[in-house]
Amino acid sequence: MTTATAERFLRSTRAADRATAAEYLANLYLDIGTFADERHAAECALTLLADDPSPKVRAAIATSLAGSSRAPLHIVLHLAKDQPGVAGSILLRSPLLGEGDLIELAATLDAKGQTMIARRPALTARVAAALCELGALEAVIELARNEDADILAWCFRRMVERFGTDGELREILIRDPRLPIDCRHRLLASLGDVLRQSSFVCALIGTDRAARVTRDACARSSVSLIDRSRPAEFSSLVDRLRQSGELTTALVLRCIAGGKVDFFGHLAAHLASIPQDRVRTLIVSGRDLALVALFDKAGFAPSIHPPLTAAIHLWRASMRGDHIGGPREASQVMIDCLTGSSDPQSVAIVSLLRQIQSDAIRASAIETSRSIAA
């Protein structure tokens, strides 16, 4: 097609013909062999066509210019604000859209436009932050799916604050290894709330039992998160547990019975306002009186001091190699400390410890079965 032919197409009343001419002019402009005067004429024509009443024509220009760094910037910026069917390719691929442009577009475009930005490769942290703060749910979901996006920890927290109750986003985030541990706990807790408030679950097992079952499940999930946490994340997890009201006696017992000794030490140090190194020394080699003083300062109920001390002695023996034990054995020595007591608190603690031991036995059996199957 010659330039003269393209001009005849531009005067056509048919949108399909104008789209064909627009595509030709865009490719002519991008061709490095095009003479300067022809490129200028093509740019002028494309500038007019960027306002063509037919979206088919505007989309033809956008698609042709989207992947090129040689495209006319003013046309790219103009089409980036067009309707989604036109702007999509520009928003997704254009290398001419800088960080500032993308942030401005994220703040002004509708959900579909924001979604295209969220899908861009190598999305910077500032653009991701703008989407987390201003984006619609659809855009945030696409951002969470974008493994190439630089998403900061506080941005994940903002996602959870805004849309943590959405099932699709929750599922994507829980599978994301970049998700901070406090966000992961918050999502698990929100899932528990959904189950507890479900009319189907309540009708099936009753409101009280549903609350108890989901509470126990959340406690087990919280303990399981510790294995996937780095020590640097322990503080944020402790803060999250305190804020959610889950930093309970049951959780403390589950931690020490399950062998989460490092986290238990971090937790005790946090609650007692004692340096980590000092608490670590007490747990590794401190006498019983020093341990009880630590527990007391951390605010642990006196009724759980004996089982906590017994469990620590067992884990010390395991670390020295003097004893081979795990959560099942730790739970048992904790139960033995309270067996025979008629105190209501002790009876309740024994019941909880038996449940913890049952969970440990079941988990061990499942792991053994999987090993045999493998």
Mean pLDDT to the nearest integer, 58-70: 95
Q: What mean pLDDT value characterizes the chain?
A: 85
Task: Please report the pLDDT score of residue 193 as a whole number.
Answer: 56
The long-range contacts involving 115-123, CB below 8 angstroms and separated by at least 24 positions, are 115/139, 115/142, 116/84, 116/87, 116/88, 116/91, 116/92, 117/91, 117/92, 118/142, 118/143, 118/146, 118/149, 119/92, 119/146, 120/91, 120/92, 120/93, 120/146, 121/148, 122/148, 123/148, 123/149, 123/150
Give the model confidence (pLDDT) of 4-59 as tens digits. Answer: 555 566 666 688 888 988 999 999 999 988 888 889 988 988 998 999 999 999 99
Give the model confidence (pLDDT) of 272-296 as tens digits. Answer: 999 999 999 999 999 999 999 999 9
Give the model confidence (pLDDT) of 312-369 as tens digits. Answer: 999 999 888 777 778 888 899 999 988 877 788 888 888 888 888 888 787 777 777 7
CA separation for the pair 7, 329 (Å, rounded)? 86
Task: Please report the pLDDT score of residue 282 as a whole number.
Answer: 92
Cα dihedral across residues 223, 226, 227, 228: positive or negative: positive
Mean pLDDT to the nearest integer, 54-79: 95
More confident residue, 83 or 203: 83
CA separation for the pair 321, 214 (Å, rounded)? 37
Is the pLDDT reported for residue 95 higher than 90? yes
